[in-house]
């Protein structure tokens, strides 16, 4: 018994672990040149050689990170839209007519290359999804549906946006950052904004800004022998997209109390380079450039920043906003609508803001304002709400006939309210909110009698 206890237990050797499968990390170009490479795509060697696009097309070296080939009903529907030359051509024409003056982030040649990629058998999936997202954006924002749209533009645009969003999550989620993926996230963000889907709006906005921050380090360098017209065009569009995203993010931050992630650093694209070629973009970016992190900290009431806030900082921001829209710039009506209304969101007396809003928008068609979507409607609603707050604290006399150039504030309020009803989301959402605000703020019979209804007859054409 004792000998059995002292007997050694047989030694069991663990089975030899299988040899780990070595995944080649070099891209195809570096592998053929027998040069050192890296995991990042495109690698720095291909970027310096101007072959970044080829390096990206080689795909990630780890098979577990390679997205599955596009499939499913959403992908089939997206591919059908991207493969419809008539639909893409008409939506592109409407984009350049109504949207390009404000967001010049596409060119006809760039769209043509997207169509070529989408038509190729082994083309990148983001090309097809981007074309579908562009069409959805146009159908939701422009009130001139193409003749090739199978059903009402609003319903079809919503369906197409949902389809493109589903295809993006299924096929484009893990793709490397590029101009295509940045634009795709932006158009999905803009479409979700139009439908007032706030969670999806913030999600795609954050994705677009993060993708831009990553894509800027992957663009081909300028001034090399391999610098082509296509590479220069992509750099220009990527630079413009930065300022469009900056304005979008800061506008969203002001309305919903969010933080901002894009900052104007010394490495940021030069805004003055677009002053002559894209004056509308220059003015739009100049309006939001002073709305920096310090400003938003005051707006969001962060304790450390709020204690150090000074009127001088607010005055400096307002001076920049006032100088952002030069009168000599040849703006189109669609640009004037967005810039004039956005410029009025300052700390001035609300009744003065309302009077200037009436004077600066009477010559603009409603269509020029509607193309900017719900964001512009919210700005008008904010101005009207501020006017109601002021009028609630001022004793109102009964309405008298007014023959002067400047009407009473209740007339300005009626004009703005009539404008809200005609714009996206106004009739369904914001007019009801404004009506309740009026009922709560103007409770006395004398004040309620002084404020008219919607005043639709006084709205612009």
Q: Report domain extents, the chain.
A: 72-241, 335-461
d(CA 105, CA 397): 51
Residue 415 has pLDDT above 90, yes or no: yes
Nearest Cα to 325, choosing from 333, 316, 336, 317? 336
pLDDT of the residue at 370: 92
pLDDT of the residue at 107: 97
DSSP string for residues in 354-404: HHHHHHHHTTS-HHHHHTTTHHHHHHHHHHHHHHHHHHHTSPPPPP----S
Q: Which helix (H) or strand (E) holds 435?
A: helix 431-441
Place of tokens 């469009």: 244
- In the chain, what percentage of residues exceed pLDDT 90? 51
Q: Which of 118-122, 145-149, 451-455 has the highest mean pLDDT?
A: 118-122
What are the Cα distances from residue 262, in Å, to 184, 215, 253, 355, 375? 18, 13, 12, 34, 20
Structure token digits, residue 425: 């989301």
d(CA 211, CA 428): 34
What are the Cα distances from residue 263, in Å, to 163, 291, 304, 346? 32, 10, 20, 21
Mean pLDDT of 112-119: 93
Structure token digits, residue 128: 């097809």
Q: How many CA atoms lie within 13 A of 11 on its CB side?
A: 1
pLDDT of the residue at 93: 94
DSSP string for residues in 73-135: HHHHHHHHHHT-HHHHHHHHHHIIIIITTT-----HHHHHHHHHHHHSTT--HHHHHHHHHHH
d(CA 306, CA 296): 10
pLDDT of the residue at 52: 72
Nearest Cα to 284, choosing from 246, 333, 314? 246
- The mean predicted confidence, pLDDT, of the chain is 82
Residue 239 has pLDDT above 60, yes or no: yes
- Reading phi first (left if > 0) and then psi (alpha if -120 to 50, else beta), residue 455 is in left
pLDDT of the residue at 49: 76
Is 255:378 a contact under the CB 8 Å cutoff? yes
d(CA 313, CA 391): 28
Q: Which residue has the higher pLDDT, 153 or 310?
A: 310
Nearest Cα to 353, choosing from 327, 316, 390? 390
């Amino acid at each position: 018994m004792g000998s059995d206890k002292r007997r050694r237990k047989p030694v069991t050797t663990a089975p030899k672990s299988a040899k780990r499968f070595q995944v080649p990390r070099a891209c195809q170009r570096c592998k053929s040149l027998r040069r050192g490479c890296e995991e990042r795509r495109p690698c720095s060697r291909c970027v310096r050689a101007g072959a970044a696009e080829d390096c990206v097309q080689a795909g990630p070296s780890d098979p577990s990170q390679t997205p599955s080939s596009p499939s499913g009903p959403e992908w089939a529907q997206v591919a059908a839209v991207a493969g419809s030359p008539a639909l893409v051509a008409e939506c592109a024409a409407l984009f350049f007519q109504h949207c390009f003056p404000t967001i010049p982030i596409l060119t006809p040649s760039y769209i043509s290359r997207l169509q070529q990629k989408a038509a190729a058998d082994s083309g990148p999936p983001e090309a097809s999804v981007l074309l579908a997202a562009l069409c959805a954006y146009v159908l939701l924002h422009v009130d001139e549906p193409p003749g090739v749209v199978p059903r009402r533009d609003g319903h079809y645009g919503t369906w197409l946006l949902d389809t493109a969003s589903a295809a993006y999550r299924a096929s484009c989620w893990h793709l490397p950052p590029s101009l295509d993926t940045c634009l795709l996230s932006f158009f999905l963000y803009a479409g979700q904004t139009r439908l007032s889907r706030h969670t999806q709006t913030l999600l795609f906005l954050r994705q677009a800004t993060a993708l831009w921050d990553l894509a800027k380090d992957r663009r081909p360098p300028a001034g090399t022998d391999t610098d082509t017209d296509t590479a220069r065009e992509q750099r220009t569009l990527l630079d413009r997209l930065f300022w469009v995203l900056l304005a979008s993010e800061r506008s969203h931050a002001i309305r919903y109390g969010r933080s901002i992630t894009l900052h104007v650093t010394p490495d940021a694209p030069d805004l003055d380079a677009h002053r002559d070629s894209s004056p509308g973009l220059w003015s739009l970016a100049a309006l939001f450039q002073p709305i920096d992190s310090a400003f938003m900290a005051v707006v969001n009431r962060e304790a450390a920043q709020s204690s150090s806030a000074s009127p001088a900082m607010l005055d400096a921001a307002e001076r920049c906003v006032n100088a952002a829209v030069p009168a000599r710039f040849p703006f189109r009506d669609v640009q004037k609508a967005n810039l004039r209304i956005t410029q009025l969101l300052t700390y001035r007396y609300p009744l003065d803001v309302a009077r200037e809003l009436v004077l600066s928008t009477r010559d603009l068609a409603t269509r020029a304002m509607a193309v900017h979507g719900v964001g512009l409607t919210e700005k008008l609603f904010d101005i009207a709400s501020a006017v109601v707050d002021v009028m609630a604290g001022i004793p109102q006399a009964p309405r008298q006939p007014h023959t002067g150039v400047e009407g009473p504030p209740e007339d300005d309020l009626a004009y703005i309210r009539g404008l809200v009803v005609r714009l996206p989301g106004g009739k369904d959402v914001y007019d009801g909110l404004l009506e309740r605000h009026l009922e709560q703020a103007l409770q006395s019979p004398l004040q309620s009698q002084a404020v008219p209804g919607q005043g639709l007859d006084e709205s612009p054409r």
